[in-house]
Structure 1
Amino acid sequence: MADIDIAATQRDMSTGVRAELVAGGFDGPEEVGHGGFGVVYRCREPELERMVAVKLLLSEVHGDERGRFVREQRALGRLSGHPHIVQVLRIDLTATGRPFIVMPYFTRGSLDRVVRATGPLRWPDALSIGVRMAGALAAAHAVGIVHGDVKPGNILLTDYGEPLLSDFGIARFGDETMSASALVQGTPAYTAPEVLRGAVQNAVADVYGLGATLYYLTTGHCPAARPGGEAGDLGADLEAYGVPDEARDAIVAALSADPEDRPGSAIEFGELLREAQRDTGQPVDTMAMPVDGAESARTVLPAQPIAPVTPPPPPIAATKFRPPAPARAVVERTRLLDILRAAAERRLILVHGPAGFGKTTLVVQWARELRATGVPVAWLTVDADDDNVVWFLTHLIEAIRRVRPELARELGDLLEERSSNATRSVLSALIDEIHDSGQPIVLVIDDWHRINGRKTFAAVDYLLEHGCHHLKLVVAGRARTGLPLSKLRVADELVEIDTAALRFDPEETGTFLVGVSGLPLTGEDVTRILESTEGWPAGLRLAQLSLSGRDDPSGFIDNLSGRHHAIGDYLTENVLDSLDPPLLDFLMATTITPRICAGLAAALSGRADARALLEQIADRNLFLHRMEENESGEWFRYHGLFADHLQRRLGYWDPDRVQVLHARAAAWFADHDLLIEAVDHTLAAGDPEGAVDLVESQAMGLIVNSRMATILGLLAKLPASLTDVRPRLQLCAAWANVGLERGVRVYTAARKVESAIEASGTPEPQATAFRVEAALAIGMEEYIADRLENLSELVPEHITALDNTIVAMNAADLAAVDALNRFDFDGVRHWHGQALYYGRELPSLAVMHSHCVAGLSEVEQVHPSAAEAHFTTAIAAVNPESEVVVRATELAGAFLGDLRYRQNRLTEAGERLATALGRHGDPRSAEVALAGYGTGARIAVIHGDIEHAERLLRTGERLAQDRSLPRLAARMINERLRIGLPVPDDVRARLLNLPPYRAQHIRIRAALAELAQESAIRMLLTDGTPAALAAARERAEVMYREILTLNRPRAKVDSSLLYACCLWATGEHEAACAIARPAVTLCVERGVPRLAQDAGPYMSEISAAVGPECLPHLGE
């Protein structure tokens, strides 16, 4: 038999098919898939201006395979119109009689592609897909069609994230019989066991395939590929990926080996999944079913709004956390990898050198090798924005969570809320979590030379100094600035790969130019190129591109000379000069942004064929690398040197066009909600006013979502001359600094509001609204700093001028705080009602703080039941899913814990106070610290844990000093004296020399004065000498009589009981009982016995004398 050139035959056939498709009305057919009986082409239908997929039967296919093709046409035709089954647009024949099916073309591909690219889906998203696919299968089964090959690869994603069931090529119809050989045609890993044993495909077998698909989506591997392979362990596997019991049971049931144990139909399985969604608090998806199916399931759950499949992360996030795809021609740097293997246990590996020396390529190879041995590698490519330490740490945490999702779950939200105040806490918590996990992790930081921020340098220094042996860093960049190299070198914890090491040696150069690139060069040619480029990898790459296709390379090699920059310019010019002008123009337009996708490229270049051009450029190795896909399409990145040179060239030829391109990029990024990139390009376009407008339009949304660090970072990019005349931007700066507890900057921004109002000529009533909001920001800062004394009258007087409901609600809330601060309990009730009114359309979390203030007012009035109602309402208003919300619950939890202590419910009190202090041990509110550290110490003493009590008090004292909180400092001293712990001599002297108490009308001042007087009295009572006791009695009586003149019920209880203790100490027992009896009775009747018991050292004796009925309530 004569030899046949199979490849040539296939090319001829492919050329003929393309010609037939073009003749049939399709443009640019490109093969995108090839199977045993058909080929899929991506084509453009010019009449409808859309991209389609054309599935065409091979002419060589006959018999059963042709039957499969016809079967798919029939199946898709019967199921046309279902929202989760791929639609048939057209069925026809080519000019030579080849049948084909036209279907929509989906750029995002299949779920299998998504999982392989980004890892397993979140289990709620997998359940949502399962419900929709169950509806699709139910529709097929209702018309007698069994799919037969349900798997992730046959579920496509539309551009809107909706899943579609596809590939009915082996579908079995209810009226068909099939040969034994045709029964097992599906993918074995997703085929039911009974079908593999020879049984006929049926609806229950499709249920198995869907169950196996959901298992794969949540774990990243199919059931047949799991370690061990025992079906009994499938549930444990799902549990390891966080799948809850309800969802786990449904999936495992679908994977039962015995078909009798599976759900009896796709509808039944879909209902199990919907039940799991409801039981786990997820939105319940609609299962689109035919009318008959719907009639048979009248009792199914009502649908809730459908949660779309979680899209891949936005491009700025995803590209930072993935190493760039390697170029097609890559040399394995074995020589350098050997160095890295020997240095694997060092704390830092530093790879540094000039641009184009292959730093990133080497690190990518090392990361790949580490991953192959089971070591997780987190990747972070930094840029200038990472000079903002909050942004840097946010990116670093996200990089780590992508490979170790169990780590740092709450730290990202904490950073946005607390900014740089929390960086040390975040780093410490991250290091502790990595250490406690006992698992190694390698963190790669690429493009280190883009970092210049001192605080970012300090953060990495802290990681290197305090990180445990489980954490290794690999840093790559053009510079070594900011790294603690000397310390690490002395400790033998540093390995450097520098410029000399990165240069290609003769063997590597020959391997690259001849072995990998296939250039017809002699050994002498390779040596001459190596000498000219000095082993510069980028120069070698440029030389390889220029030499490709040349008949006589010697002349070109003879002209290779000069230093790196000259070689780079020369070679780049030679590459570009060989390109067609339209392609060169496209390259210059699309290198204006660091990353590019088809949509962005089309916007920049005006080319409708942008996607095809990007793919052509990537295929030709013109310094463009494929990165990944997301909702905006497939993303690419140009080589930095290539892009820089093209931009310099464009700026020289057509500087006006540079600004036009930046403006187009800004518009595209703004349309896709990528605000930081939009602002950067708007500024680069020479439109600072437009950048300011863009930030101003989004600023309040960032504030409402607690994106404080983000708004300040954006404002820092804008010209101060423009932002200084925008009152709204100055207010947002004030609010952001309030959230980040930067008091001085709050006042600065608030003062600028008035200047901005005058400079901008803001008319009334908007000007008044801005002034009210500025006063509100100052008041909020003073409240957070625990020094609010008098709220500006602007706030309560002009609250109706505020057009933002959230701001108005906060104004009413702060007015209630101000009323409480003045012991105006009626005012608290009024402003609490106003806060509820303004917050009626807002989430329940919005009025949580107002309930806390109202509860504190009731505590001051000794109304514990009313206070408890407010605190429990506040806690119930919160669903703690983020760090911001967790912090919000600390306040209500602390107040309720403190109340539980007064009620003698010590176990619950201790638990709530410990939770309120938070896992980071740094409560934002002084009120939380007062209860957490003060009352928490009392509970520790009751349980006999003096050491824990002292630790709490020391922590509270440090916090009071660090944040200048005198009320907290006074409480810590008071608690020390109660316990009998020592206090400094200067503090004792100051307390004993206090002047007599005078009535206080401001709550914070009252607390300071009364805590100090009580501490002095306790010291005198402990002294026990007649003179000291007399002095204590005198101080207590003055305070008691001063407070009697005020409308402060709780203060009256405290002062009367303390006075009674002093009377008892001086032997005036009857007078003591007379003073104490009303207060003790009130405490017992209101259910707050600890309020009386803690009042002084003689309360047990006084209670016994007041009346035996008090003893069971007060105890010892």
Structure 2
Amino acid sequence: MVAKTSSHSIITTKLSAPECDGRLITRRALFDAFVRTQGSILTVVAAAGSGKSTLLAEIHQSLATSGTGLGWINLDPDDDTPSNFATYLVAALIRLDPGAKFDDLMLQGRTPFRDIEPLFRRLLAHVSNLPRDAVLFLDDFQHIQNDVILFFLNKLLASAPPTLRVVIASRQRIPLDLSRFRLRNRLIDVQQEDLSFSAQQAYDFLKLSHGVDLGQKDLALLLETTEGWPTGLQLAGLALRKHACQTSQLIEKFSGRDRDLSTYLMEVVLRSQPEAVRQFLLATAPLTRMSAGLAAAVSGHPNGAAMIEHLSRANLFVIALDREGGWYRYHHLFSSFLQDQVTATDPTLLSRVFERASTWCEAQGLTTEAIQYALDGQHYDRACDLIATHAATLTMRQGDHYTVLEWMRRLPERYHLRTPELALAHAWARAFSRDSDRATAIADRVLQQLRSQDGWNLPQQAVTEQSFVARVIQVMASGANDEIDNAIELGIALRKELGDDRPFLTSSICNTLSYGYFARQEFELSARTASEAYRAGHRAGVPYPTVWAIFLQGVAALEMGHVRSAFEHSGRAVDCAHTAESSRGYSSAMAALLSAEVALQRCDLDRAAEFMGLGRSFTATFGPLYPLFLAYRIDARLSALRGEPDHARRILMDGQDTALSMGQPRLYLNLAIEEVTLRLNAGDITGAMESVARTQLLEDRTLKQATTFRGEHDALKLLRARLALANGDAALALRLITMLLQQQPSTGSVSFALTLRAVRAHAMWADQRPSDAIRELDKALSSAALEQHAYPIAHAGPGLIPILKAIVERRGDAPLGGDLRVKRALESTLLTTLSTEDQSLAIAATGAALHDAKPTETLTDREIELLRLVEAGLANKQLADALLISESTVKWHLHNIYSKIGVGSRTAAVARARELTMLK
């Protein structure tokens, strides 16, 4: 079937193996070795009509009941772009391994990002960890010529685990490096001659499929003419069944297994059909796939289902694309022949078919297919109307920028300003696709035409509303382009003009303002403005800008040291993202990114890694700068804390390349500072200095560029102090850090201040001042303990370990009160994290320390309601149904409850909640 979701729709029949017709001759001998050999590759290279897809379908069917994971892609010319190929490959991997979490990869695959490498690396990582035997089928591989895709597939095949096998069918030589598999006897290479039918197979096929019983002489002549070509025999069977003359006379007219033969036989087959069947075949030939309803709509036949059934019974090259018999396609060779006939006899029929197909798909809610058919048929007026109707909802309210950009790519540029709705949807998508200059240019052009009424002739109210949208895009594009002061100035003025009657635009502009205040480190103002955006988004009933608002509230709260508040915001973001199924990709990724950052700030590495599975998509998707930076930073920090410094550095260098390609110097600067810092934390002083030299971080012009933003300016000064400390000049490091602490505003970043104090403690320890170092670090611990704000302290590096041990030793076994117990939990977490040991030890230590202490967080009403249902014995699915939420949201709430009250199971959570009188 075709996915009916209009926003993120992919054609799911491309992911389905054709049904294996039981009347066909088995080719089991050709793939027995493949089934038995782990890590093997089976290639099928043969001309059209040789039975490649049929062979693949039989292999697929033979494995379907074996417990093997199966993924299939029917490739077509559109898949020879990295983003399209990645989209369908990820979708196939989801079917191949349904238990895996591929949401982030699906989002990345649907995105027109400029750098495919991050996604392909993620795909390689997923494939290398497949938990069970799996087979990936790639049919019609001749369409793939893109060097980037081929390079990736070579790497995938080279690094694939033994559990993965691959089947590739192509009409042309497969341009992949398969020599190593041939040398290891793991390549099963099926050629043209292998697919040709023997005399017995040909006899059985004609008898079973067509009821044609050829004598030995006629069969030999037919085999000589067709050389056992399966499609030639299929066509011959159809012709022989219908032809009135003697069998030998018809066979003698065959000219051989080439285009002449196929054309002759197809003409014979087509002429032998009743007029109604012939007209139906020609009318449906342009369809890439068809259902009974679609076929009836384009052909005018009153019963499309009956006609398709007739074609199937008559073996007229109709292939079922699903088990339910809902969708079909013609054999490629037959489809090509039919379309040639249409072009030769009635060139206007193609255009009519595409128009009717577009109309039918629109009525069925298949918006993407409706627009594709309108574009295929060059019905650009209709395509414009459809895109203008649906694009604004997709890009502005659901965050699906890729679909809109793909439509606009196919639509000739002369139509791009056909309506203001069309142009502004395009501009909005550009603003969030790292193309803010183009977004601004389109918005400017729209405003000019609105003022001049050049060609649109809109009523004044419409002019006013579309002008507001264009101006909002201008402000957002400025923010996305890191022109923060300009975005804030324009945004404040526009916010006043919008009033309270346009909540969606108000939410969008307030989000931009909040983002700008955050960049200027005005965190309280950022949080307040994000709250306004949240309220407006709720009034508008649009989850996408609402999730953005919650994200901004959360990251501002983290900078102010309010980790518990950020934790609550992350929960709200997850809930809000799950309310909008069509926008789950972008919104859920943003919610996951915030949740990952909150978990990392508490040094809960396992939970942070779990959320980064989806949040990582920002490293290969849209802007603006901060979510992209956050995604790179979290990923790199997790790798560094797990003892993988080289991988962490590669992540950050990839981010730097992205920043350069985007023209984002501030993103580049932040990622470069992070790279040097992580190398220092790993004890690689030489490598850190190499990174400094490569990125020119200590150049005067770099510092001058950074002065525009206080955060980057201070981060560079801290880096200078850390480099001095690493090179043995503790006194200089102390002076620099002390000056930084004195200059920190009271409204500045609490998170950064914690790191400053922790590095200062390290410098004091290195300067032979252990007592001062202990006191300084204890100040940081006291500030962070209540919120369990661990990472800013851990970010000072392993140099804190001896100071932490000294603090623990001085305290000894003295009984501790609640507040000191919470501080001890933080110390335990830090020691475990900095020692890069099993993070579960830190989580267990934290839970044990918190168990007897007063909880630092209370349960929300929703969490208490959920616990009551848990106490009643409801399973997760029942909990989800009772609370009208998803099972994943139930699991998220349970995880939060465990973290808040220091338990590890449902039973313990109920008992602990009763002990704390949270349940009555």
Equivalent in 646, 656, 669 of residue 961 of structure 1: 656
Give distance in 1, aligned partners of 2:710 and 2:685: 25
Equivalent in the alignment of 1:813: 511
Give distance in 1, aligned partners of 2:635 and 2:489: 34
For residues 901-957 of structure 1, the C-alpha deviation after alignment (integer angstroms, 9 at most, x for no partner) is: xxxxx6xx555545554478676536646974798799x6xxxxxx73857864664
Equivalent in 354, 361, 372 of residue 669 of structure 1: 361
- Is structure 2 residue 333 aligned with structure 1 residue 637? no
Equivalent in 140, 143, 160 of residue 450 of structure 1: 143
Aligned CA distance change for structure 1 residues 733 and 621 (closer, same or farther; 3 Å): same
Give distance in 2, aligned partners of 1:615 and 1:629: 14
For residues 355-394 of structure 1, the C-alpha deviation after alignment (integer angstroms, 9 at most, x for no partner) is: 2122222232333334466645433222223223333333
Give distance in 1, aligned partners of 2:28 and 2:753: 80
- Aligned sequence identity (%): 22
- Is structure 2 residue 213 aligned with structure 1 residue 510? no
Q: Which deviates more, 972-981 or 390-399?
A: 972-981
- Is structure 2 residue 215 aligned with structure 1 residue 522? yes
- Is structure 2 residue 603 aligned with structure 1 residue 893? no
Residue pair 1:1043, 1:1052 contacting (<8 A) in 2 also? no
Cα offset, 1:351, TM superposition: 1.2
Give distance in 2, aligned partners of 1:825 and 1:409: 34
- Is structure 2 residue 339 aligned with structure 1 residue 647? yes
Give distance in 1, aligned partners of 2:717 and 2:10: 61
Residue pair 2:38, 2:163 contacting (<8 A) in 1 also? no
Equivalent in the alignment of 1:360: 53
Aligned CA distance change for structure 1 residues 766 and 353 (closer, same or farther; 3 Å): same
Give distance in 2, aligned partners of 1:1066 and 1:576: 89
Aligned CA distance change for structure 1 residues 918 and 1067 (closer, same or farther; 3 Å): closer
Q: How does 1:847-996 map to 2 (within 5 A)?
A: 847-854=546-553, 856-857=555-556, 874=573, 877=576, 879=578, 884=586, 886-894=588-596, 896-897=598-599, 900=602, 909-910=604-605, 913-915=608-610, 917-918=612-613, 924=619, 925=627, 928=630, 932=634, 948=643, 954=649, 957-958=652-653, 961-964=656-659, 965-974=668-677, 981-983=684-686, 984-985=688-689
Give distance in 2, aligned partners of 1:481 and 1:539: 24
Cα offset, 1:321, TM superposition: 0.8
Aligned CA distance change for structure 1 residues 674 and 452 (closer, same or farther; 3 Å): farther
Residue pair 2:479, 2:515 contacting (<8 A) in 1 also? no
- Is structure 2 residue 359 aligned with structure 1 residue 656? no
- Is structure 2 residue 282 aligned with structure 1 residue 579? no
- Is structure 2 residue 227 aligned with structure 1 residue 534? yes
Give distance in 1, aligned partners of 2:766 and 2:287: 83
Name the amino acid aligned to 1:888. Answer: M
Higher RCO, 1 vs 2 (CA within 8 Å, ≥6 residues apart): 2
Aligned CA distance change for structure 1 residues 471 and 1021 (closer, same or farther; 3 Å): closer
Q: Larger % of strand: which?
A: 1
Cα offset, 1:815, TM superposition: 0.4
Q: Larger % of helix: which?
A: 2
Give distance in 1, aligned partners of 2:535 and 2:210: 73
Equivalent in the alignment of 1:796: 492
Residue pair 1:937, 1:952 contacting (<8 A) in 2 also? yes
Name the amino acid aligned to 1:532. Answer: T
Aligned CA distance change for structure 1 residues 504 and 455 (closer, same or farther; 3 Å): same
Equivalent in the alignment of 2:473: 774
Give distance in 2, aligned partners of 1:441 and 1:1080: 51
For residues 423-482 of structure 1, the C-alpha deviation after alignment (integer angstroms, 9 at most, x for no partner) is: 656655555556545532222222222334444434433332221222111112312354
**Superposed CA RMSD:** 5.1
Give distance in 1, aligned partners of 2:777 and 2:150: 64
Q: What's the secondary structure of 2:43's corresponding residue?
A: strand
Residue pair 1:996, 1:1035 contacting (<8 A) in 2 also? no
Residue pair 2:491, 2:509 contacting (<8 A) in 1 also? yes
Give distance in 2, aligned partners of 1:852 and 1:1039: 29
Give distance in 1, aligned partners of 2:138 and 2:654: 34
Equivalent in the alignment of 2:871: none
Aligned CA distance change for structure 1 residues 727 and 1017 (closer, same or farther; 3 Å): same
Cα offset, 1:353, TM superposition: 1.8
Equivalent in the alignment of 1:682: 374
Equivalent in the alignment of 1:835: 533
Give distance in 2, aligned partners of 1:598 and 1:819: 56
Q: Which deviates more, 482-491 or 640-649?
A: 482-491
Q: How does 1:694-709 map to 2 (within 5 A)?
A: 694-703=386-395, 704-709=397-402
Aligned CA distance change for structure 1 residues 985 and 1022 (closer, same or farther; 3 Å): closer
| TM-score, normalised relative to structure 1 | 0.59
Cα offset, 1:850, TM superposition: 2.6
Give distance in 2, aligned partners of 1:887 and 1:331: 48
Residue pair 1:936, 1:952 contacting (<8 A) in 2 also? no
Aligned CA distance change for structure 1 residues 790 and 379 (closer, same or farther; 3 Å): same
| TM-score, normalised relative to structure 2 | 0.70
Q: Which deviates more, 666-675 or 548-557?
A: 548-557
Aligned CA distance change for structure 1 residues 346 and 506 (closer, same or farther; 3 Å): farther
Give distance in 1, aligned partners of 2:285 and 2:491: 51
Give distance in 1, aligned partners of 2:10 and 2:637: 49
Cα offset, 1:501, TM superposition: 2.9
Any gaps of 5 or more consecutive residues in structure 2? 620-626, 660-667, 811-816, 828-920
Q: What's the secondary structure of 1:378's corresponding residue?
A: strand
Cα offset, 1:668, TM superposition: 0.9
Name the amino acid aligned to 2:103. Answer: E
Q: Which deviates more, 365-374 or 590-599?
A: 365-374
Name the amino acid aligned to 2:260. Answer: A
Aligned CA distance change for structure 1 residues 993 and 1038 (closer, same or farther; 3 Å): farther
Residue pair 2:198, 2:228 contacting (<8 A) in 1 also? yes
Aligned CA distance change for structure 1 residues 647 and 897 (closer, same or farther; 3 Å): closer
Equivalent in the alignment of 1:31: none
Cα offset, 1:789, TM superposition: 5.7
Give distance in 2, aligned partners of 1:1049 and 1:320: 49
Cα offset, 1:325, TM superposition: 4.4
Q: What's the secondary structure of 2:487's corresponding residue?
A: coil
Q: What's the secondary structure of 1:560's corresponding residue?
A: coil
Residue pair 1:1036, 1:1055 contacting (<8 A) in 2 also? no
Aligned CA distance change for structure 1 residues 681 and 1088 (closer, same or farther; 3 Å): closer
Q: How does 1:148-547 map to 2 (within 5 A)?
A: 316-318=11-13, 320-326=15-21, 328=23, 330-333=24-27, 336-337=30-31, 344-345=37-38, 347-371=40-64, 375-402=68-95, 404-410=97-103, 413-416=106-109, 436-486=129-179, 488-490=181-183, 492-514=185-207, 517-547=210-240
- Is structure 2 residue 456 aligned with structure 1 residue 752? no
Residue pair 2:431, 2:439 contacting (<8 A) in 1 also? no
Aligned CA distance change for structure 1 residues 382 and 823 (closer, same or farther; 3 Å): closer
Give distance in 2, aligned partners of 1:470 and 1:871: 37
Give distance in 1, aligned partners of 2:692 and 2:282: 75
Give distance in 2, aligned partners of 1:504 and 1:777: 64
Aligned CA distance change for structure 1 residues 732 and 481 (closer, same or farther; 3 Å): farther
Residue pair 2:134, 2:165 contacting (<8 A) in 1 also? yes
Cα offset, 1:485, TM superposition: 4.1
Aligned CA distance change for structure 1 residues 394 and 625 (closer, same or farther; 3 Å): same
Name the amino acid aligned to 1:714. Answer: W
Aligned CA distance change for structure 1 residues 789 and 600 (closer, same or farther; 3 Å): same
Aligned CA distance change for structure 1 residues 1051 and 619 (closer, same or farther; 3 Å): closer
Give distance in 1, aligned partners of 2:653 and 2:178: 33
Give distance in 1, aligned partners of 2:608 and 2:690: 31
Cα offset, 1:401, TM superposition: 4.0
